Structure 1
């Protein structure tokens, strides 16, 4: 399965690593103003992670983009990991470009799922979910390099009901 991760900070990079290591083909995409973060990954073709559970490892990233609208086309799953102040911008972008049947997971809490549901106003049949927190704390330590530490208690996920996926 191909997955697009939107964002290029520590949360998005750590989600990209975990998905890649789990066997998914990951595209990392962010808005043009964050091109330097995306280009650091594009130049290396991977994200390096240092953490207690994986040690020091590198995860391949299949593609990168500074055009999220194009990157999400035809993708089954879109993971959004951006700060709460970016939720409205990404919700508007997604509302314009999502296709029926796509799934969007907002990682890191903050109301992104509600922002997207509001922007869509029921216009498209998509699956929307959000986590209560990032799965773990992470920090960008250099170009395409992050460190992470596990959080206790796990991460919860909740989906919003829709006509095609009632809860």
Structure 2
């Protein structure tokens, strides 16, 4: 299946109260990660009314994205139409899809757009099916289990996480198809 694998970095955990600060995505075509077909941008966070939001230090500590880094970045209102166009009619994949899709759904609704991909697939769920006896299925553990490596500085940055998630998706679907 041809899909778009995506990942967000945010100011917090609530799609209603927090904001997106980075979007990364890559296409998987015919079981191959197409690194040239990617989408990557920082996003200046804004609240529901369009007001500027600051990145809390706790969130910055996780992903390393500072207020200075997003100062001149476009807002979600500016990047969401082009991201939705990049996704097109593809299915989407994310590690813990509920989190990322929740932010996309709320963000799209705020800006009069519709988040309605062909399907939403989750590598956490695929990992649980492929490794039913394992307890941990976070991206770091899954990468280790599958022998995948993050690029230096890539963990907890959207495109770094997307690269590993896309490779994990390909391997997990191959493993499950072989069962």
TM-score band, normalised by shorter chain: 0.3 to 0.5
Tell me the TM-score normalised to structure 2 length: 0.34
Higher helix share: 2
- Which structure is larger by alpha-carbon Rg, 1 or 2? 2
